[in-house]
Amino acid sequence: MSLSADCSSCFGLCCVALPFAASADFAVDKPAGTPCTNLRQDFRCGIHARLRDEGFSGCTVFDCFGAGQKVSQVTFGGQDWRGDPETARRMFAAFPVMRGLHELLVYLTEAVSMPAAEPIWVELQRALDDIERRTEKGPDELAALDIEAIRREASELLLRASELARARIPGRKKNHRGAELIAAKLRGAKLRGASLRGACLIGADLRDADLRKADVIGADFRGADLRGADLTGCLFLTGPQLAAANGDARTRLPQGFTRPAHWVSAGTS
């Protein structure tokens, strides 16, 4: 199963099924089930190269984790939503649930690869297999799933994996789980092995901060300054989190991550 988005195999579901409100992230309002005015007939974005300039930065930090092509090509067997209103309704209902399942698969796949999480590998693998089976359900069964309940159950396992991994970091680890750290002055902060689970770090100054092995699952990095920060080995970090932040050539990333293109213009002071 691919957990990376392949827009060429999707029917533009994120551009149609999901709603967005006019804000700093989106230039206009769009209700759920209504195609974005920038969506072309070939299901591609007409302003993809200019999304930030056109006021759609929210689109640049969204990732379906492969749910779009799974719903388009597997759940609905390649049938798109344009020909039949009922197909559209069912597809748009299934997509957000599939996206939630795929996001959990991303986290569980990472957790089961952690050497420190060996004591719960069996439980992690069982949860991963169970969620993967759920992604194979039909559209109506998918839409009926209680994704929040599934997320809560998986989150307990992911927290245990995180605690096992961070326990190997010497010294006392800071706990900022769910903390409101909007525009916080954290330049040079020692956050190695810290819990930043669900923390709101919008606009936070994290320049030169030590975030090695920090748990950042669900942390909001929109507008955060990560110039010179060390994110080596960050737990449960995702591409959208990086894309929402600002960084530079000195920002150290975990293996396998690509530096966001807009970071090129970020300063180094």
**Domain boundaries in the chain?**
7-166, 172-269
pLDDT of residue 268: 45
| % of the chain exceeding 70 in pLDDT | 98
pLDDT of residue 264: 66
pLDDT at residue 246 tops 70: yes
- Beta-carbon contacts of 5 under 8 Å, excluding residues fewer than 6 positions away, are 63, 64, 65, 66, 68, 69
Q: Give the span between the Cα atoms of 175 and 196, in whole angstroms.
A: 7
Answer for the pair 145, 166: CB distance below 8 angstroms, yes or no: no
pLDDT of residue 1: 72
Tell me: the pLDDT tens digits for 34-84? 999 999 999 999 999 899 899 999 998 999 999 999 999 999 999 999 989
Q: Give the span between the Cα atoms of 224 and 222, in whole angstroms.
A: 5
pLDDT of residue 200: 98
Answer for the pair 96, 32: CB distance below 8 angstroms, yes or no: no
pLDDT of residue 151: 96
Q: Give the span between the Cα atoms of 264 and 246, in whole angstroms.
A: 9
pTM of the model: 0.93
pLDDT at residue 261 tops 80: yes
pLDDT at residue 29 tops 50: yes
Instruction: Return the amino acid letter for 9.
Output: S
Give domain 172-269's CATH superfamily: E3 ubiquitin-protein ligase SopA (2.160.20.80)
